[in-house]
Structure 1
């Protein structure tokens, strides 16, 4: 469906053309969303930063999200969480993800605070979403900080995820919503892992 993340970003930029010139704040979800965010910020004449959320994966299957943790410490859990793991395991995993978020923020933007989204057109971008948990946590957290307009931008997403995200964002721009969805990577010819070093190269100092 896409050659790579840049291909998806180019197509998203076309769909988001109406916000060009309004200094949108592009908030990328690391790590896969950051190359796309860099392209969108340049194409739409906006600012780039990261929004830090961490998926809480199911025990024994970490790629299957049962919730997510936001940078403000809030936790967003799916109904499946109570069935799939114990309270002790979940508490330990949430603590671990919160610490990882703190580490990432100090690593990615060590000399400046996160850019304030208040009053801004905010575009939250990721390469794709299978369950919607990570994007949903980002949107819920950002909504509390009073953006002028909150947009979710995705290369590809499952139909269930997109239905949920539409309740949290003012607009959801997603290039594809296939009926058979297993993993985001299946829709990219090149889905190479994005390294922390790549993120640092793409973010403003």
Structure 2
């Protein structure tokens, strides 16, 4: 159990100490992963930036999703989950989330381009992984950009997600994986939605 995202980030940083000598670039997935990424980068003395990805939410339940899209256009769709959504609606949702990605790049990264990661070790940080769609597209983006090594680092993840990313990424660092895991929020004492303003405070 973690007190909050700061506590989780500090504990995650300890688990990532071995990568300090790799001169890594810490890439946080906003908004939830930003405070954790900041804490990790501070402890490792690493460069820090954002990788903008968005869940593709169900039209009837925006808390859940059937896939995700990254800022370079990489997208992942869970075909089984998406069977309840029409092709036309999927295209509409992708268009909506693409606009939100553009807004976040401008607002949260000051319209700066995605940092060069070719030949670098990158540490992808989020506040947890449930379904794993956003982390999936983040990993795909980093592969396309020729990162030397990709480390997925989160405080909590499902066992299915750990197995999946162990195959996709070079290494996976997860602090907790409860048997009864159902939502990322369950391992945080203080859980809340993060605002744009809070993200900007860490940049």
Sort the TM-score into its range (normalised by shorter chain). over 0.9
Q: Secondary structure at the match of 1:166?
A: helix
Could you list the runs of 5+ residues in structure 1 that have no partner in the other structure? Answer: none
Farther-moved stretch of structure 1 (54-63 vs 30-39): 54-63
Q: Where do 1:37-116 residues align within 5 Å?
A: 37-110=37-110, 112-116=112-116
**What is aligned with 2:11?**
11
Corresponding residue of 1:33: 33
Q: Deviations over 1:10-42 (max 9, x none)?
A: 111111111114321000000010000111111
**Structure 2: stretches of 5+ with no match in the other structure:** none
Q: Equivalent residue of 2:10, what SS?
A: helix
Measured after TM superposition, the shift of residue 189 of structure 1 is 0.1
2: CA distance, partners of 1:82 / 1:51 = 24
Task: Give the 3-state SS of the residue equivalent to 2:72 in structure 1.
Answer: coil
Structure 1: 4+ residue segments shifted above 6 A: none
Task: After superposition, give the CA deviation of every residue in 1:107-160 in whole Å (9 maximum; x if it has no partner).
Answer: 112253221111111000000011011111100111111111100001111111
Q: CA deviation at 1:187?
A: 1.0
**What is the alpha-carbon distance in structure 1 between the residues aligned to residue 139 and residue 125 of structure 2?**
11
Q: Scaled by the length of structure 2, what TM-score is found?
A: 0.96
Counting matched residue pairs gives 203
Q: What is the match of residue 129 of structure 2?
A: 129
Q: Say whether 1:147 aligns with 2:157.
A: no
**CA RMSD of the aligned region, Å?**
1.2
TM-score by length of 1: 0.95
